[in-house]
Amino acid sequence: MDAVLSRIERALEALSRREAACDLCPRDCRADRTAGRTGICGIGPRAGLASALLHYGEEPVISGAAGPSGPGSGTIFFTGCNLKCLFCQNHQISWGRVGRTVSDVELAEAMLDLQARGALNINLVSPSHVVLPALRALVMARPRGLLLPLVWNSNGYEKDSVIERLAGIVDIYLPDLKYVSSELSARYSEAPDYFERASTALQEMYLQQPDLVIDQNGMARRGMIIRHLVLPGCTEDSLAVLEWIARSLSPSVGLSLMSQYHPCHQAPPELRRGLRAEEYGRVLSRARELGFECLFAQPDVFPEGDHLVPDFGRERPFRWKAG
Ligand code: SF4
């Protein structure tokens, strides 16, 4: 008897009841997605698959330290998103509709294919609005031999009542914590309640997977890594994010502090520049002062042209030798 499969089936049963008047995320659109209607995320009953690839650019414990010569993270990028970040580097798939609508079987096949190609894990990117297709695909894939750790790589704008259902299913939580300030989250992501909802969701994730467990090959097997992208001119809010994590969760939680901001999409005038080294340095120093033990940092500055923005219009959205 597969205990994980039983949990997935129970989660599906509970969450499926919410699809006809969708309240699966804090937007509470109440759209009848079973009838093909869509809410803010723009997605009906089936998932949109933008890309399924071996990803070499996640944190080393997720992608592997070997880079493009290693196996990589089995990453599935979904179309649509419940946040509306003006600066989104994945805007072609989050705001736009790049990707194809797939059946649950096709999604299961994509997971199994990544495993067959040697992926280290199954890494679901922005999965919150497609939690049901993802779970239905897992129900099909597990009896066919899918065994890889499951990574929930989300924007953090989620309901704790949904995350509770993922206990014992998700092995590694990899959520963003983008803002504390409701002014910033309203202006940049159309979500004034972002922190209120994300902080509650992250607390539930932390309850389930508090400790990052690394195997003998240096790969994460379970736990939690919180990502924070430092935005130009927003270092005070970044410091508030770190203070909250240290105080309300623990400095022992995994923290990935990102400097890779690059102006994209509809970035407003004040965000139309790269992050300065001193801005990132200030936030990184504070993270060290606060005692974050499991800290993933990026270079102080990304040279122009060396940013990590993918192009989902290409067969291989990233510039490394992706699988
Ligand atoms: S998942 Fe989509 S339809 Fe459902 S509440 Fe969120 S944004 Fe609205």
pTM for the model stands at 0.96
Q: How many other C-beta atoms are found inside a 10 Å radius of the C-beta of residue 304?
A: 8
Q: Could you report the per-residue pLDDT of 242-288, keeping only the tens digit for each?
A: 999 999 999 999 999 999 999 988 999 999 999 999 999 999 999 99
Q: What are the pLDDT digits (tens) for 188-217?
A: 999 999 999 999 999 999 999 998 999 999
**How far apart (Å, rounded) are the C-alpha atoms in residues 189 and 183?**
10
For helices 131-141 and 3-16, angle between their N-to-C axes, nearest 10 degrees: 150
Looking at the predicted structure, is the pLDDT value of residue 318 above 50?
yes
Reported as a pLDDT band with limits 50, 70 and 90, residue 306 is low
Residue 323 pLDDT grade (very low, low, confident, very high; cuts 50, 70, 90): very low
Q: Tens of pLDDT along 116-171?
A: 999 999 999 999 999 999 999 999 999 999 999 999 999 999 999 999 999 999 99
- CA distances (Å), 217 to each of 62, 152, 190, 211, 214, in order? 11, 21, 41, 17, 8
| Closest ligand 1 atom, residue 39 Cα | 3
Helix/strand/coil for 224: strand
Ligand 1 pocket: which residues have CB below 6 Å? 22-25, 27-29, 31, 39-41, 82, 129
Domains, the chain, in order of start with CATH, read 46-297 (3.20.20.70)
Q: Give the phi and the psi of residue 255 in degrees, each rounded to 5.
A: -135, 125
Helix spans in the chain (H)? 3-16, 60-63, 91-94, 104-116, 131-141, 160-163, 182-189, 194-208, 235-244, 277-289
Cα 186 to Cα 25, 46, 226, 267, 306: the distances in Å are 17, 29, 21, 14, 29
In this prediction, residue 322 carries a pLDDT of: 44
DSSP string, 267-323: --GGGSSPPPHHHHHHHHHHHHHTT-SSEEE--S-PPTT------TTSSS-SSS---
Gap from CA of 31 to ligand 1 centroid (Å): 7
| Cβ proximity of 204 and 158 under 8 Å | no
Closest atom of ligand 1 to 42 CA is 2
**Per-residue pLDDT tens for 26-60?**
999 999 999 999 999 999 999 999 999 999 999 99
* Minimum-distance ligand 1 atom for the alpha carbon of 31: 3
The mean per-residue pLDDT over the stretch 66-94 comes to 92
